[in-house]
Every structure is written in C-alpha cells, then in structure tokens.
C-alpha cells in the first residue's frame, strides 16, 4: 500500500486565496467546495488505511 503526502493542488490554493480576497461567485464556490470535499476524502481514506494496517498487520 502506498500513501502519498497530500498537497493542495494549485487550483485549490487559488480558490482558497481568492476566497479570502473577494466574494466568490456561485460557480467558484461550487468548484472550491468540490475540490475541498475531494481533498478531505483523500486524507480520510489514507487515515483509515493507515489505521487498518496498524490494527491488522
């Protein structure tokens, strides 16, 4: 099993910075939400895999 250190994509960083500087329109908010949700799930998946490996190895 390979676990990657998850880094935020350039697009994710762009939307995070833009969100702090201005009000995002509907499409930008949707994009940021979807990117954030995907990133969070990747990190959660890796945590679950790590715990499973520790308990069942």
Say if 5 falls within a structural domain.
Answer: no
Say if 4 falls within a structural domain.
Answer: no
Is the pLDDT at 11 greater than 60? The verdict is yes
Q: From the CB of residue 32, how many other CB atoms can be counted at a distance below 10 Å?
A: 18
Say if 2 falls within a structural domain.
Answer: no
Task: Name the domain count of the chain.
Answer: 1
Say if 43 falls within a structural domain.
Answer: yes
Say if 3 falls within a structural domain.
Answer: no
36: which residues sit within 8 A by CB, 6+ positions away?
12
> CA–CA separation, 28 vs 17, rounded Å?
12
The whole domain housing 51 covers: 10-14+26-56
Q: Is the pTM of this model over 0.85?
A: no
Each residue of 16-33: pLDDT tens digit? 999 999 999 999 999 999
């Amino acid at each position: 099993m390979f676990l990657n250190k998850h880094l935020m994509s350039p697009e994710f960083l762009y939307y995070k910075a833009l969100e702090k500087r201005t009000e995002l329109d509907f499409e930008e908010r949707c994009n940021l939400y979807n990117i954030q949700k995907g990133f969070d799930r990747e990190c959660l998946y890796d945590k679950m895999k790590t715990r499973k490996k520790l308990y069942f190895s």
